Amino acid sequence: MSEQVIEYKKKDFTNDTEVRWCPGCGDYSILSSLQLALTKVGKKKEEIVCVSGIGCSSRFPYYMGTYGFHTIHGRAPAVASGIKLANPDLSLWIITGDGDGMSIGGNHLIHAMRRNIDFNILLFNNEIYGLTKGQYSPTTEKGTVTKSSPYGSIDRPFNTGKLAIGSGVTFLAKTIDTDPKHMMEMMVKADQHKGTSFLEIYQNCVIFNDKVHDVYTSRTTRDDNCLYLEHGKPMIFGKEKDKGIRLNNFALEVVQLGDGISENDLLVHDKHNEILAYQLLNYSNPPHFPMAIGEIFEKQDAIYNEDMVAQIEAVKKKKGPSTFKDLLYSGDTWKV
């Protein structure tokens, strides 16, 4: 007899905790989008866990009608890894920010992606430390004036997507807090993927870095500066859908449709092409080249938590069942 599918509504993933973010913060939109996405992933509430680190984004678990764990600075991937290995059936969401995830938590994040543990990483990127009142972060653009860089930051920022690809991530996508429908779709696709999913969300901080993503979020400029990717479809963008991306001598270039250039000349997006994904991440730099949004890369690979379970079963089959006491008194032992 098949298990009955439970149909949820968004309110089922809310609770009565007062949401305490600044009015206008992009976190509200992300919270709403995930609550909607969870109505579509086919998991029971009891099988969903949100794990966060430290920062404005990391208040997230308090506002979700699911299980949650508010951990310490940068360590959400480590705690989430333990949870997933202990209960592989859970739908697990890591909530982190560009400071929490890319700075003190950078080492944990890259090794989680390298291992390809089956969970979802949501990186809220507002290019600033918001909770501690406006210091520059590892993703802050060079030259940005902040509380900790009064004459402009001289740090080169991380390209988070290239970092994820280099770490071996098996699902990479980008979305924007001002596009909740697309954001929800990317969250559902992330959860459907088996392995580590990395979803970067461009999110606005209205207090300390307002309009940081304005060139690709403002209604007046976004159409000409966002390249919404769809697997198997030509790379077309622009308010009039009159611009595209083509390959010229192994380099990507923006072209204007017409005057002998048609859709047939444009690159067709292949989310399984790692070299193409890396190029898109490398070129994305509005207004010179549109920001790649959507599913950028996906592949299937060995999943750490599945391999661990298989290894344990193989050892048990070979050596038989054992106890903790057997382990404690095995090998070289001595009395003190």
CB 62 within 8 A of CB 99: no
pLDDT higher at 221 or 1:
221
CA pair distance 210, 42, nearest whole angstrom: 36
Model confidence at 4: pLDDT above 70: no
Q: What is the mean pLDDT of the chain?
A: 95
Q: Where are the domains of the chain?
A: 1-212+302-336
Residue type for position 1: M
pLDDT band at 1 (very low <50, low <70, confident <90, very high): very low
Model confidence at 258: pLDDT above 50: yes
Q: Residue 27 corresponds to which tokens in the numbers above?
A: 């976190």
pLDDT tens-digit series, residues 194-234: 999 999 999 999 999 999 999 999 999 999 999 999 999 99
CATH label, 1-212+302-336, candidates 2.30.30.140, 3.40.50.970, 3.30.420.10, 3.40.50.150: 3.40.50.970
Non-local CB neighbours of 58 within 8 Å, separated by 6+ positions: 52, 70, 76, 95, 96, 97, 100
CA pair distance 7, 5, nearest whole angstrom: 6
Q: Which of 20, 23, 30 is nearest to 50 (CA)?
A: 30
Cut 0.85: pTM above it: yes
pLDDT band at 5 (very low <50, low <70, confident <90, very high): low
CA pair distance 40, 65, nearest whole angstrom: 15
Strand partners, 124: 97, 201
3-state helix, strand, coil in the chain (%, to 5): 35, 20, 45
Q: Residue 79 corresponds to which tokens in the numbers above?
A: 């705690």
pLDDT tens-digit series, residues 115-164: 999 999 999 999 999 999 999 999 999 999 999 999 999 999 999 999 99
